[in-house]
Amino acid sequence: MTIIVTVPADTRGNKLFLKDLRVESDKTLIKYRSTYNDMPFIETELFGDGKGNCIILGDDGTVLWRFSQQFLSNFD
């Protein structure tokens, strides 16, 4: 069974979808996609900001998504 966690992306109903959370060595990996575009799930490394949030970065280091790490508790 695959668990997909939905994170509100804005106040207009857009969403960020997260699935397949896993830890490999010293990296936390997750697959994500959003309702902003029609892209398949993309796997990426998940980072923390030291303030209780998770961050998904773009290839150039730009913060693409920031959300509360409490959403990850839904994967337990």
pLDDT in 10s for each residue of the chain, 76 residues: 889 999 999 999 999 999 999 999 999 999 999 999 989 999 999 999 999 999 999 999 999 999 999 999 988 7
Among 70, 25, 21, 10, smallest CA distance to 44 is for 21
Determine contact, residues 18/46, Cβ cutoff 8 Å: no
Tracing tokens 């509360």 back to the chain, one arrives at 68
Please provide the distance, in angstroms rounded to a whole number, between the alpha carbons at the two ends of the chain: 13
